[in-house]
A and B are shown apart, each in its own frame.
Chain A
Amino acid sequence: METLMAVAVGLLFAVGVYLILSRSLLRIVLGTSLLTHGVHLLLLTMSGLKTGAAPLLGEDAGRYVDPLPQALILTSIVISFGVTSFFFVLAYRAYQKLGTDDMEQLRGQEDEY
């Protein structure tokens, strides 16, 4: 199971990196969000995917899954959600003001201070 997940994470990373290297701003934002999906799956996978009850004491099971990475992922999801929404709004403002979403045209120009 871990092998399968590792392959999936690898695919997400590959697609994310490919999108980040493209020219259009929107693709870059999508690439970063795929990349964060990748690391969240990685965090879940690396703590082990052994079977066990959900980490609720009411389940009264013999063994539970590791609760720590779930907390870490939850934290990381919220942070990346905040950052992604900021990035989207920033991309929108930049498109309004700069009039392009092509990263090639967003090089520094001397005349716009």
Chain B
Amino acid sequence: MNNMVVLPLLIPLFTAVMLIFFHKRLTIQRWISGVSSLASVFVSVWIVLEVREEGIQTLHMGGWLPPYGIVFVADMFASLLVLTTSVVSAACLFYAFRSIGADRERNHFYSFVHFLIAGVMGSFLTGDLFNLFVCFEVMLIASYALIVLGGTRRQLRETLKYILINIVSSTLFVAAVAYLYAAAGTLNMAHLSVRVAEAGQGGIMTVIAVLFLIVFSLKAGLFLFFWLPGSYGAPPAVVAALYGALLTKVGLYAIIRMFTLVFYHEPGFTHTIIGWMAAATMILGGIGAIAYKDVSRILSYNVIAGVGFIAFGLAAANRTALEGVIYYLMHDMLIKALLFLLGGIIVALAGTDKLQQMGGLITRNPLLGWMFFISALAMVGVPPLSGFIGKLLIVQGGLESGFYWTTGISLALSLLLLTSMLNIFMNAFWGEEKMAGDGIWKSPRLLLVVSAALLILVIFLGVGAEWVDPYVSQAADVLLDAQLYIDAVLKE
């Protein structure tokens, strides 16, 4: 029992409610948002250290012992993701202070962001399947509001599609929960794991597992990503950064959790499917990333490719690959947020989303240019930077498990993604100056500072890999041995 575990959920929730009362007072809103996001970072660091010292932390809501009550579980995997989420959301909030515009701020923008963060944190920390559904909905409803806030024609059009896809996938989620409840008679994840292990993962359980895979793949953009590029292009850059960094990763987290904790008995079937989906996602994401000539679509397809890559690590499912997954997941959240934020500055300065109409930004914004260049290299996985270790471990794990073809695809994908990022870099920064930009944001200094902070973290994650390694290794322990999680939750 540790009451701190619920704080990453409570802080943004409380902040969001507070902000409703001050929605006309922009300065107060910014102060409250900023302070609360920093408090979140502080609490998350504290939880990570606590889990490192004392093992998995649990919290029984209302004092009801699991499996009867709702339980919050902070193992190292969830804590690391909570920490990354809080860092990314703090960066996005500070970026939003300068970029989002007073109209959106007055209409509850920060409240929605905090509700979104609360949903994400809840999804990472909960140990109960239906509670996961509710946290998903908290996150999704906030995301509907954020994607349409502003009400341009494009936003309205894309929101209609986004909301429809998510209603259908949430409906399937409830159906999957219903089937699983009928088959296992419980909703607590640790208890489910025990029940599934006792009854054996026969035909019905595997069907339910595949249904869950479909549901979470729709949310994560794993193979079923047709909705993603359109939706991520519609809202402002900072919202797209939050989505690219957080929403798909929550779906991935749910897939990883379900297939390492509950449905890990038939890897020959389920993990093979995941492997195929991952390979298809990487191929299609890579093709999309080099096919398009506008910044937002290139970045969206990069998100998709990253999702495929992480799922490939899960399919390989040995220790090396899972450590790689954890490492790459943290890296991917940071780097996707960073790239969307930098992309937002580029689009604002150039005044257009189209690569053909850009050019020569490097003469006036050398700092922005080199930051973008370094983060592009980090995303692709050039050695001293953060993408490298995760990618190396996943590739190594894939080879150990005999996924030779998929490993080949993942390596080829890195080249495609590098091409796509250099496409942006060369078109936007090199060449003769075509300043179509009316300089919507006069002084992007704060924006650059925020991006630089993220970039430093990305570099640190690569250079300080030795220092991060024990945490990642501890997180992988739980993913490899479900019994650790079950013991922590059920035996206290």
Residues of A within 8 A of B178 (CB): 39, 42-43, 45-47, 69
A87 within 8 A of B: yes
- Known interface pairs A75-B130, A87-B167. Does A46 touch B153 (Cβ–Cβ under 8 Å)? no
**B141–A69 touching, CB < 8 Å:** no
Name the interface residues of A60-102: CB closer than 8 Å to any CB of B: 68-69, 72, 75-76, 79-80, 82-83, 86-87, 90-91, 93-94, 97-98
Stretch at the interface among B158-166, B192-200, B478-486: B158-166
Main secondary structure of the interface of B (DSSP, over half): helix
Residue B10, interface by CB 8 Å: no
Does B181 count as interface, using CB distance less than 8 angstroms? yes
Q: Are B151 and A97 interface neighbours, CB within 8 A?
A: yes
Complex CA–CA separation, A42 to B173 (angstroms): 12
A108 & B230 in contact (Cβ 8 Å cutoff): yes
Please indicate which of the listed interface residues A28, A45, A83, A93 has the most CB atoms of chain B within 10 Å of its own CB. Answer: A83
Q: Does chain A have a CB within 8 A of B418?
A: no
B148 within 8 A of A: yes
Q: Mark B213-236, 1 if CB is under 8 A from A, else 0.
A: 000000000000000001000000
Binary per-residue interface labels of chain B (155-185) against chain A in the complex, 1 for a CB within 8 Å, 0 otherwise: 0111111011001101100110111011000
Q: Are the C-beta atoms of B134 and A91 separated by less than 8 Å?
A: no
Number of B positions contacting A (CB below 8 A): 33
CB distance from B360 to the nearest CB of A (A): 22
Interface of A is mostly: helix
CB contact between B159 and one of A48, A75, A90 (< 8 Å): that residue: A90
Verify B182–A32 contact, CB threshold 8 A: no
B50 interfacial by beta-carbon distance below 8 Å: no
Partner of A94 from the list B141, B157, B174, B187 (CB cut-off 8 Å) is B157
**In the bound complex, CA of A87 to CA of B148 (Å):** 11
Q: Whose C-beta in chain B lies nearest to the C-beta of A87?
A: B163
Query: Does B144 belong to the interface (CB within 8 Å)?
Result: yes
CB of B156 within 8 A of CB of A32, answer: no
CB pair A90–B168 under 8 Å, yes or no, is: no
Contact (Cβ within 8 A) A72 B130:
yes
Q: Which among B158, B174, B175, B230 has the highest number of chain A CB atoms within 10 Å?
A: B174
**Contact mask for chain A residues 12-32; partner B; CB cutoff 8 A; 1 contact, 0 none:** 000000001000010010001
Within the complex, the shortest CB–CB distance from B179 to chain A, in Å, comes to 6
- Tell me the smallest distance from the CB of B480 to a CB of chain A, in Å: 31
Q: Which residues of B contact A68 (CB under 8 A)?
A: 181, 187
Q: How far is the CB of B438 from chain A (nearest CB, A)?
A: 14
Interface residues of B in 206-256 (CB under 8 A from A): 230
Find chain A residues with CB under 8 A from B230 CB. Answer: 108
Find out whether the CB atom of A82 lies under 8 angstroms from the CB atom of B160: no
Q: How far is the CA of A28 from the CA of B130 in the complex (A)?
A: 26
| B167 with A32: CB separation less than 8 A | yes
In the complex, chain B residues whose CB is within 8 Å of the CB of A76 = 133, 174
B154 at the interface (CB under 8 A from A): yes
CA distance A93 to B179 in the complex (A): 37
A112→B154 CA distance, assembly (Å): 7
Binding site for B on A (CB under 8 A): 20, 25, 28, 32, 35-36, 38-40, 42-43, 45-48, 68-69, 72, 75-76, 79-80, 82-83, 86-87, 90-91, 93-94, 97-98, 103, 106, 108, 112-113
